[in-house]
Amino acid sequence: MKKNKVYISNFSSVSALGIHNKETLISLNNKKLNYTIYGSKFPYPVFSIDKLIENYKFESNNLIKNAKTALILLKNIEDSFINKGDIPLFVATSTGGIKETEERYKDIIINNTDYPLFKWHFFNEISNSIKKEYPDIFKESFTFSTACSSSGHSILQAFNLIQNGIIDRAVIIGVDILSLTTMIGFDSLKLVSHTITKPLSNKRDGLTLGEGGGVLLLESKPDSDPIAEIVAISSNSDGYHISSPDPDGIYQKECIERTLQMANINKEDISYINAHGTGTPMNDEVEIKAIKSIFKHKPIVTSLKGFIGHTLGASAVTELSISLLMLKEKTIFQVPDFEDPIDKELIPEKSIQIEDIKYFLKNSFGFGGNNVSIIIKRLL
């Protein structure tokens, strides 16, 4: 059976680097890390988008922060989907309206105040806000939530349906915001860096949380030249531990290998790997072990979490978008002052200029050993 190709017609991201592609690229070139100390309850660095979105004008005053991020993302690529009729919307999040629940929780418990938790707390509030803004475009939506790999699943689900001719196009939105629950939760697991995250470095001491999101317009028959093609994507489960990866990385390796097989390309065709690279001692060690066991030709490996933090369920689509931007710029950016890489042959210490990279791999791993790998072919 003939399979359709799945093209990326447009993309954007919102992160501590910027709220659109141009701003993100300027920040990458300036090599400025926009992290701040969160506050007294969590006195550690975070990559926040608060300052970047504070002056953004929304149609509605009544939006949760995740919905605001999603609407900014859609506005960024609106021209490419606005005249295309019904488009299924594949949302990914792991936080929903939790920040707003935290802000009102004391009032709800102590002062017995009315707050519509059923409406505001759960994930559908994001897609409902989008549907209100774009009632003629987004009529069907589904929210995938598999912790940090959530947006990898949104991409996978849409990819399978487009590739097999069941739908023609899809919009993928992954968003997650900073909340005390996730910040204190990760700190309780001793996974948070109290300095700043240093992914893929031997000096790494944990992750730094970030917020934001990414958006992709996927199509089988784009109107104009597409930016990239998703050639393969697969996912499996470690079946090992609820919050740690299998130390041998067997199923991360299996996931990457299966994706390569689906893509029908040689391992040597992959010139760049955008790692999940959280910056925790265990996660990075396992991921690099899996990568090295497959790729003997020394592709370049970096993590974007040094620039934007760990954006949780939004990380796969956000980092995929920023990767496309970097590769278009023919530069793989490395954070300033990066040193002592886990593997000197794979991980550059400085930003590097590159020739055209045709294929790259994006990894995304989540709690419970939920693994997703994606292979993308650059076209523009």
Partner 1 sequence: MKNACFFIKDISIINSFVKEREDIIKLFNNNFFSDPSQWDIGLHTDSFSFLQDSIDSPLKKRMSKISLGIYNVLQKGPGSNIEEDDEIYLISSFAEIDTTDQIIKNIIIDDANLVSPTLFHNSVHNTPLSYWTIINKRHNYCATISDGLDTNISFINWLKYRAQLCKIKKNFIIASGEENSIFFKLDKTTKKNIVSSFCAYKICCSEKGFRYLGEFSSLEEILKTASFKEAKYVFCSINEFHKIKDKKVLTEYPLVFDNPTGIVFRLALPFYLGINEKTVIIESHLHKFYMYEVLL
Residues designated as active site: 148, 276, 310
Q: Which of 108, 282, 352, 379 binds partner 1 (CB under 8 A)?
A: 108
**Given the rule CB under 8 A, which of 22-30, 184-192, 222-230, 335-343 is the region that contacts partner 1?**
184-192
CB of 335 to partner 1, least distance (A): 27
Is 105 one of the binding residues for partner 1 (CB under 8 A)? yes
Q: What is the DSSP string of 79-139?
A: HHHTTS----EEEE-S-TTHHHHHHHHHHHHHS-----HHHHTSTHHHHHHHHHHSTTT--
Alpha carbon distances (Å) from 355 to 11, 55, 298, 309, 350: 22, 38, 15, 27, 16
Residue among 72 and 372 whose Cβ is closer to partner 1: 372
# binding residues, partner 1 (CB under 8 A): 68
Q: Which of 370, 373, 375, 376 binds partner 1 (CB under 8 A)?
A: 370
The span from the CA of 33 to the CA of 299, in Å, is 25
Which amino acid appears at position 330 of this protein?
Answer: K
Torsion angle defined by CA atoms of residues 49, 308, 227 and 234, in that order, rounded to the nearest 10 degrees: -120
Joined tokens for residue 257: 């290998």
The span from the CA of 365 to the CA of 146, in Å, is 9
CB of 145 to partner 1, least distance (A): 4
**Given the rule CB under 8 A, which of 76-84, 103-111, 200-208, 347-355 is the region that contacts partner 1?**
103-111
Is 185 one of the binding residues for partner 1 (CB under 8 A)? yes
CB of 353 to partner 1, least distance (A): 38
> 3-class SS at 63?
coil
Positions in the binding site for partner 1 (CB under 8 A): 1, 41-42, 88, 94, 96, 98, 101-102, 105-106, 108-110, 112, 114-119, 121-125, 127-128, 140-147, 153, 157, 160-161, 164, 166-167, 180-181, 184-190, 235-243, 251, 254, 366-370
